[in-house]
C-alpha cells in the first residue's frame, strides 16, 4: 500500500529576529562607547593603580618634546604654548569650578613641564585632575 | 458564477534586509568609536592653605633625583622601599602627609611610579609642591621632615 504524501515542508530559516539582535547590539555600542575626541599619540606612563577618568574632561597633552596641546574635551587637542594653560583653565574653572582636567603626558617628558602645568592649575583653583596612565604589568618581584 | 481565486498573496513585510542594515550600523560604530575607559591616577589639588599645612606638619619627604632614583627622608632608597617605610608610620597616623619633591630634570614616569606606590600604600594625603612653593618654603629644601 502506498501512502500519499500530503504536504511539503518549506525549507526556510526565519530571519525576522536577526534584526532585533542586531539592533540590540547597536544599542549596546551606542551606550557603552564614546567617540574618541583625543587623537594625540603619547607614550603614557605606567601605573598599577588606575581609576576611570571622567568622560569629556578638559585634556592637557604634553608630548616627549614638551609640546603642549589643549582641548576642552569636545575636540582634538590643539598645539598651544605651555603658558596658555592659565587662561585656558581659568575660562573653564570660572564657568564650572569642578571642571575635571586630564593630564596626558609622555612618560619621557621632564618633570619641569608637569610642574608648570600643576602650578598654573593651582593658580586658577582647579581642583580635580587625573594623570592618564597605562596599565603596568605586575611582575613577580612586585 | 463565482470565480475561484487561484493566487494567494502572502501579506508579509520582507525583513531580510533589516539585519543587513543593522549589521552595517554595528560595523560603523565598531570602527568609528572607542570604548570610553581612559584610566589614570585621580588627584585633587588642595587649597593653598592645605599645602602650607603639609609643609609645616611632620611629613614624610620623598625626593626624586634627576636619574629617577629616590630618597626617603634623605636616605637613598628605591620605589619598592616606599611601602615598607610608610606602613608603620601610617599605622600610627593614617592621615600622615607625604611630600613628593621631584628634580625638574627627572622623567615624569618616576613621579607616576612614586604616586602609584603611595596609592597602593593607601596614603591619603599626597602633596606635590611646585617649584614656586618649594622656593617659597625653602625650609624643607634638601632636608627631611
d(CA B129, CA B135): 10
Domain-embedded: residue B75: yes
Judge whether A30 lies within some domain. Answer: no
Q: Is the pLDDT of residue A85 over 70?
A: yes
Read off the pTM.
Answer: 0.73
The pLDDT tens digits for B31-72 are 776 655 578 888 877 765 555 565 556 889 999 999 999 999
Q: Does the structure's ipTM exceed the value 0.85?
A: no
The answer to whether residue B37 is domain-embedded is: no
Number of domains chain A is built from: 1
Domain for residue B2, yes or no?
no
B45/A25 touch (CB, cutoff 8 Å), yes or no = no
The answer to whether the CB of B62 falls within 8 A of the CB of B99 is yes
Residue A86 within a domain? yes
* CATH value at residue B99: 3.30.420.270
- Owning domain of residue A113: 45-135
Name the residue range of residue B78's domain.
Answer: 48-140
Sorted by sequence, the CB contacts under 8 Å of residue A108 that are 6+ apart come out as A43, A64, B107, B108, B109
CATH of the domain at A118: 3.30.420.270
Residues of chain A numbered 53-92 and touching chain B (CB < 8 Å): 53, 55
CA nearest to B14 within chain A: A16
Amino acid at each position: 500500500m502506498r501512502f500519499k504524501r500530503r504536504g511539503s515542508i518549506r525549507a526556510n530559516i526565519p530571519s525576522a529576529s536577526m534584526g532585533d539582535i542586531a539592533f540590540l547590539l547597536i544599542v549596546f555600542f551606542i551606550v557603552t562607547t564614546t567617540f574618541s575626541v583625543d587623537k594625540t599619540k603619547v607614550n603614557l606612563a605606567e601605573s598599577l593603580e588606575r581609576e576611570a577618568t571622567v568622560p569629556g574632561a578638559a585634556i592637557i597633552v604634553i608630548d616627549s618634546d614638551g609640546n603642549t596641546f589643549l582641548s576642552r574635551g569636545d575636540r582634538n587637542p590643539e598645539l598651544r604654548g605651555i603658558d596658555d594653560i592659565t587662561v585656558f583653565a581659568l575660562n573653564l574653572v570660572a564657568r564650572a569650578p569642578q571642571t575635571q582636567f586630564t593630564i596626558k603626558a609622555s612618560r619621557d617628558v621632564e618633570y619641569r613641564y608637569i610642574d608648570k602645568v600643576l602650578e598654573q592649575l593651582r593658580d586658577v583653583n582647579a581642583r580635580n585632575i587625573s594623570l592618564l596612565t597605562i596599565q603596568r604589568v605586575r611582575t613577580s618581584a612586585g | 458564477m463565482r470565480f475561484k481565486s487561484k493566487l494567494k498573496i502572502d501579506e508579509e513585510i520582507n525583513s531580510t534586509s533589516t539585519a543587513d542594515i543593522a549589521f552595517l550600523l554595528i560595523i560603523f560604530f565598531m570602527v568609528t568609536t572607542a570604548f570610553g575607559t581612559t584610566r589614570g591616577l585621580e588627584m585633587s589639588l588642595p587649597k593653598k592653605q592645605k599645602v602650607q599645612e603639609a609643609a609645616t606638619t611632620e611629613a614624610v619627604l620623598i625626593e626624586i633625583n634627576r636619574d629617577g632614583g629616590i630618597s626617603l627622608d634623605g636616605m637613598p632608597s628605591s620605589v619598592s622601599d616606599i611601602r615598607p617605610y610608610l606602613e608603620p608610620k601610617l599605622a600610627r597616623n593614617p592621615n600622615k602627609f607625604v611630600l613628593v619633591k621631584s628634580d625638574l630634570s627627572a622623567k615624569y614616569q618616576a613621579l607616576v611610579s612614586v604616586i602609584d606606590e603611595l596609592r597602593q600604600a593607601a596614603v591619603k594625603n599626597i602633596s606635590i609642591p611646585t617649584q614656586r612653593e618649594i622656593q617659597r618654603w625653602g625650609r624643607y629644601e634638601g632636608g627631611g621632615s
